[in-house]
Amino acid sequence: MCGIVGALAQRNVNEILLEGLRRLEYRGYDSAGVCLVDGDSQLQLRKSQGKVADLEARLAAAPAAGQLGIAHTRWATHGAPSDRNAHPHVSGQIALVHNGIIENHQPLRAELRDKGYQFTSDTDTEVVVHLIHSLAGDGRDLLAAVTAATDRLEGAYALGVISADEPETLVCARSGSPLVVGVGIEENFIASDPMALRQVTDRFIFLEEGDVAEISRAGITVRDKQGEEVSRPVHKLDGGHDAADKGRYRHYMQKEIFEQPAVVEATLAGRIGDKSVLSEALGARAHEILPEVQQVQIVACGTSYHAGLVARYWLEDWAGIPCSVEVASEIRYRKTAVRPGTLFVTISQSGETADTLAALRQAKELGYLASMTICNVPNSSLVRESELSLMTEAGPEIGVASTKAFTTQLVALQLFCIALAKVNGLSTEREAELVKALHQLPQLMEQFTGLDQLVQDTSEAFAEKHHALFLGRGVEYPIALEGALKLKEISYIHAEAYPAGELKHGPLALVDADMPVVVVAPNDELLEKLKSNLQEVRARGGQLFVFASPQAGFTSEPGVTVVEVPDAPESLAPILYTVPLQLLSYHVALLKGTDVDQPRNLAKSVTVE
Ligand code: AGP
C-alpha cells in the first residue's frame, strides 16, 4: 500500500528518501516518485511507474538534490498505475504526497476546475494539492493552507507537503492513515511507517487523528484537530526492528516461514510458567476485565481473520464463552446487537488495517465491555486505541503473504483463551496439559519446517493446475482457509477451502482428476468423519494430498499422496499444520515464477478501505 517519506536536513536528502522508499517496498506499490526543493528554490520532481529501481534510473538520468524533499510509493486506487498518476503531485510551487482516499474528491475537483485549475492525473490526491494551492497561493503560509485544506477533506489521509517558497518547512497531517515524525539532530523526517526511517533515527512521534505538524530543522510543532498546540511524546524504538535483510534466504516469505520456531518461542517467553499461563501475560488490566467477559466478538481481515476463526473453537471449548468472528469490512457497515459483557477483540499484524481500525472506533460507541487487540506492531493505531493489547513477537513481517504473524497470532490467542478459560472454570490439570504442549511448540515447529523438501517434491503436482480445493474439519477448517489464501495470494492459482462435511452440498461437483484436493488431517476426534469425506473425493477421481501424522493411518497410493508430518498434541495442530501449507504455496509460487514477496495487486498493510 502507499508509503510516504519526507526529510528536512542540512544535507542532500535524496538518498534518505530513496532508502526510505526501498524499506517500504514490501508493502506493495506500483509507482514511485520524489520531489526535492533544490538550492535555487525550485521543485525537482521525478516519478516513475514500476519499482523504486525505475525511479532511481530516472534520477540517474536526471539527477536532483535538495535538503528538503518528499517521496512516495503509490498503490493505485483512483487511476491506473502510471507516471502521471504517481505522487508527488504539484500545484505551482507546492508539492504533496498522500496516503488514503479522499471521498469528496469529485465536488472538490469541480470547484477547483471552476477556479481554473487544470488536472494532469486521475487521482483523488491531485485535488488536495490544488486545494492547498488555492488556499495559499504560491509561497504564502503553507501551514495555514494545509490546515484550512484538511477542514475540507472527507475520507482518510496522511499528507506530506512542501513548498519551494518555504524551503525551511515540511508540513504534514493525518486523519485515518498513519503518519510518524522521525526526530533527528538538526534534521527531522516524516514517514507512514517508522521502518522507513530506521537508518536515520530511532525516535518517533506518532501523530494522532486530526494532527497537523509543522517541521523545521530545529523543531516540530504539532496542532490537534482543534488547532491547539499539543505536546506529543517522543518514543524511542528499540534496535531490533531493522529487518530489511533476507539473510541466507531467497525470499522474505521463506525467511519468515523458517523464523517461526524462534518467534513462537519469543511470543511465549515470560507468559507461561511450568504448568500455567502467567496472569501478567495479558497486561495489567486483564485481571479486572477478564472476569467480566461473557462473550467475545473477534474482528479482523484476511489471515488475521482466519486466526480469529481458530480462536473461536478454543474459546467455546475451553472457556465455554460464546464467540463470534467477523471480517472488519462487514461488521463496520451493519447494525450489530451487542450483549452486555462482550469483549471486542481485534487481530492484526500491522495494527493499521483501515477496516479493522474503523470497526474498533465504531465499537467504542456500541457498549462493548472493553477492547483488546492482538497485534505485531507496538505503537500502531490499534495498540494505541485498544484498552488491552497482547503483542505477538513475530518481528517485522516483510512478505505480503502473512506467515509468522499468523502462527504467533495463534499462540497469543491460545494464551488469551486459556487465561479466559481459567476464570471460567478450566481445571488446573487441563491448563497444565495445554501449557505443557505449548512448551513443546518451538521444537515441534522446527520439525514441521523440516518438511520443506518433502513439500517441495509435492508442490510439482500443483504447478500446472488452475484450481485447488482445501479441506479440513473442526478447528482445521480455518487452517484450510488459510492454506487456500496463501496459495491464491502468491501462486495465483484459484483455491477454495471447505469444511470437508460440506463437500457433498456442492463443491463435489468440481472434483475430477484435474482438481488437487489438499487435506489437513490431524489425528483428532473428527478423523474418521474426514476419512469418509475423502472417500467421496476418491470415488470421483479427485487427487488427494493429505497432510497427516503416521498415527492417522493414511497410506500413499495412486491418487493419494500422504505428506507425513510429525505427531503433535491436538491443541497445537492448527498452529503446526499451517507450516507445510505455507511451504506448499511458497514452492508452487517458485515453480510458477511469481513475485513471492510482492504478489501482484496486493499490499502488505491495507490502510485504505
Ligand atoms: C495475508 O497473507 C494477507 N496479506 C492479508 O490477508 C492480511 O492478513 C490482511 O490484510 C490483514 O492484515 P493485518 O493483519 O495487518 O490487519
Task: For strands 234-236 and 203-206, give the pairing.
Answer: antiparallel
Cα distance between residue 298 and residue 283, in whole Å = 19
Last residue of a domain, one of 236, 265, 285: 236
Co-location of 449 and 497 in the same domain = yes
Could you read off the pLDDT of 204-262 as tens digits, one per residue? 998 988 999 999 998 999 999 999 999 999 988 765 444 557 888 999 999 999 999 99
Residue 301 annotated among the catalytic residues of the structure: no
CATH of residue 17's domain is: 3.60.20.10
Whether 110 is covered by a domain: the verdict is yes
Closest ligand 1 atom to 605 CA: 15
Query: Helices (H) and strands (E) in the chain — how many of each?
Result: 18, 25
Could you read off the pLDDT of 357-367 as tens digits, one per residue? 999 999 999 99
Cell match 497561493: residue? 137
Whether 247 is covered by a domain: the verdict is no
Mutation probe of ligand 1 site: the residue of 1, 252, 301, 407 with most atoms within 8 A of C-beta: 301
C-alpha 89 – ligand 1 centre gap (Å): 29
Query: Residue 210 burial (CB < 10 Å; 0-12/13-18/19+)?
Result: middle
Mutation probe of ligand 1 site: the residue of 326, 403, 606, 608 with most atoms within 8 A of C-beta: 606
Q: Which domain holds residue 423?
A: 252-592
Co-location of 265 and 155 in the same domain = no
Q: Which three cell numbers stand for residue 205?
A: 512521534
C-alpha 14 – ligand 1 centre gap (Å): 31
Which amino acid appears at position 585 of this protein?
S
Output the DSSP codes for 255-285.
HHHHTHHHHHHHHHTTTB-SSSB-GGGG-TT
Co-location of 260 and 214 in the same domain = no
Co-location of 258 and 231 in the same domain = no
> Quick check: 471 and 484 in contact, CB under 8 A?
no
pLDDT class of 339 with cuts at 50, 70, 90: very high
Whether 604 is covered by a domain: the verdict is no
Cα distance between residue 263 and residue 582, in whole Å = 16
Co-location of 266 and 355 in the same domain = yes
Whether 243 is covered by a domain: the verdict is no
Asked whether 402 lines ligand 1 (CB < 6 A), one says: yes
Could you read off the pLDDT of 190-206 as tens digits, one per residue? 999 888 998 899 899 98
Q: What is the pLDDT of residue 539?
A: 84
Asked whether 489 lines ligand 1 (CB < 6 A), one says: yes
Return the residue whose CA atom lies nearest to atom 4 of ligand 1.
Answer: 401
> Quick check: 78 and 124 in contact, CB under 8 A?
yes
Closest ligand 1 atom to 602 CA: 4
Whether 118 is covered by a domain: the verdict is yes
Asked whether 375 lines ligand 1 (CB < 6 A), one says: no
CA neighbours closer than 13 Å in the CB half-sphere of residue 164:
18
Asked whether 356 lines ligand 1 (CB < 6 A), one says: yes
pTM of the model: 0.77
- Region 368-395: what's the mean pLDDT? 91
C-alpha 181 – ligand 1 centre gap (Å): 25
Closest ligand 1 atom to 402 CA: 2
Residue 604 annotated among the catalytic residues of the structure: yes
Asked whether 400 lines ligand 1 (CB < 6 A), one says: yes
Co-location of 323 and 468 in the same domain = yes
Could you read off the pLDDT of 254-264 as tens digits, one per residue? 999 999 999 99
Q: What is the pLDDT of residue 285?
A: 83
Co-location of 208 and 312 in the same domain = no
Cα distance between residue 524 and residue 502, in whole Å = 19
Q: What is the pLDDT of residue 244?
A: 57
Comparing 310-314, 523-527, 575-579, the range with the smallest average pLDDT is 523-527
Co-location of 417 and 519 in the same domain = yes
C-alpha 421 – ligand 1 centre gap (Å): 28
CATH of residue 499's domain is: 3.40.50.10490
Q: What is the pLDDT of residue 241?
A: 44
Asked whether 350 lines ligand 1 (CB < 6 A), one says: yes
Mutual orientation of helices 428-449 and 573-592 as an angle, nearest 10°?
20
> Quick check: 45 and 66 in contact, CB under 8 A?
no
Whether 54 is covered by a domain: the verdict is yes
Co-location of 115 and 70 in the same domain = yes
C-alpha 302 – ligand 1 centre gap (Å): 5
Whether 597 is covered by a domain: the verdict is no
Asked whether 99 lines ligand 1 (CB < 6 A), one says: no
Could you read off the pLDDT of 423-478 as tens digits, one per residue? 999 999 999 999 999 999 999 999 999 999 999 999 999 999 999 999 999 999 99
Mutation probe of ligand 1 site: the residue of 304, 330, 410 with most atoms within 8 A of C-beta: 304
Could you read off the pLDDT of 87-123 as tens digits, one per residue? 999 999 999 999 988 889 999 999 999 999 999 999 9
Co-location of 222 and 319 in the same domain = no
Per the structure, the count of domains in the chain is 2
* β-sheet bridge partners, residue 230: 222
Q: What is the pLDDT of residue 239?
A: 57
Q: Which three cell numbers stand for residue 137?
A: 497561493
**Higher-pLDDT residue of 384, 433:** 433
Co-location of 317 and 443 in the same domain = yes
- The pLDDT > 70 percentage for the chain reads 98
Q: What is the pLDDT of residue 243?
A: 55
pLDDT class of 39 with cuts at 50, 70, 90: very high
Cα distance between residue 416 and residue 411, in whole Å = 9
Q: Quick one: residue 279, left, alpha or beta (phi over 0 = left, psi -120 to 50 = alpha)?
A: alpha
Whether the pLDDT of residue 507 is over 50: the answer is yes
Last residue of a domain, one of 190, 212, 236: 236
Asked whether 349 lines ligand 1 (CB < 6 A), one says: yes
Co-location of 259 and 232 in the same domain = no
Return the residue whose CA atom lies nearest to atom 7 of ligand 1.
Answer: 302
Last residue of a domain, one of 236, 262, 289: 236
Show the 3-state SS of 524-590.
CCCHHHHHHHHHHHHHCCCEEEEEECHHHCCCCECCEEEEECCCCCHHHHHHHHHHHHHHHHHHHHH
> Quick check: 585 and 486 in contact, CB under 8 A?
yes
Whether 272 is covered by a domain: the verdict is yes
Return the residue whose CA atom lies nearest to atom 16 of ligand 1.
Answer: 348
C-alpha 305 – ligand 1 centre gap (Å): 8
Mean pLDDT of the chain: 92
Closest ligand 1 atom to 603 CA: 4
Residue tagged active-site, from 47, 255, 488, 604: 604
- Region 309-331: what's the mean pLDDT? 97
C-alpha 301 – ligand 1 centre gap (Å): 6
C-alpha 212 – ligand 1 centre gap (Å): 29
